[in-house]
């Protein structure tokens, strides 16, 4: 059972592409990651990156990923695929893959993702994944897409969106 999230973003496809493909911009809006950093690679070779998520003040879980390919169709649709893995023993996911698709739609873009992964820790991990972690990942992905949407459509930075959420929560 994979995760699928879609958002309609009123803005230029090139802006959405840039804010999702550039690691420095990506880590600003995506709640699932505290850090995304490109790793060295040869020109023309697939792009590798390191990602990390701060779980607690002194605990960071990290992993690596590789861009598995990009494609642009004559109709303007773009797709970016990746594979990822985390050797960290506390990471609930072991390895997975996914894609982002960008579909021009009038004055905006349908931005969507589908991804799946193999949970860690055997049967207990599979149960925890089904009941807790996978729903949390879907929620975090959807909220992250909304932060990206606000940034593109209204100029509300991801950091400001987080502060607004915290203020409303209080």
CATH 3.40.50.410 fits 3-169, yes or no: no
C-beta of residue 151 within 8 angstroms of C-beta of residue 11:
no
In the chain, domain spans: 3-169
Q: Residue 127: pLDDT above 80?
A: yes
Alpha-carbon distance of 73 to 102, in angstroms, equals 10
Q: Which residues contact 96 (CB under 8 A, 6 or more apart)?
A: 83, 84, 85, 115, 116, 117, 118
Q: What percent of the chain has pLDDT over 70?
A: 100
Alpha-carbon distance of 158 to 162, in angstroms, equals 6
The secondary element (H helix, E strand) that includes residue 38 is strand 35-39
Q: pLDDT tens across 70-91, in order?
A: 888 999 999 999 999 999 999 9
Q: pLDDT tens across 89-121, in order?
A: 999 999 999 999 999 999 999 999 999 999 999
Confidence (pLDDT) at 125: 95
């Amino acid at each position: 059972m994979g995760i699928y999230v879609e958002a309609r973003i009123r803005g230029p496809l090139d802006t959405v592409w840039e804010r999702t493909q550039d690691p420095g911009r990506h880590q600003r809006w995506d709640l699932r990651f505290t850090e995304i950093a490109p790793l060295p690679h040869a020109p023309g070779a697939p792009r590798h990156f390191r990602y990390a998520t701060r779980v607690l003040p002194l605990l960071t879980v990290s992993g690596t990923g590789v861009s598995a390919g990009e494609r642009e169709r004559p109709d303007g649709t773009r797709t970016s695929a990746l594979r990822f893995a985390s050797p960290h023993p506390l990471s609930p996911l072991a390895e997975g893959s996914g894609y982002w698709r960008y579909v021009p739609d009038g004055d905006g873009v349908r931005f969507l993702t589908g991804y799946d992964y193999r949970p860690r820790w055997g049967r207990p991990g599979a149960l925890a994944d089904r009941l807790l972690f996978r729903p949390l990942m879907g929620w975090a992905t959807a909220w992250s897409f909304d932060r990206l949407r606000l940034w593109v459509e209204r100029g509300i930075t991801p950091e400001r969106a987080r502060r607004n959420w915290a203020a409303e929560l209080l």
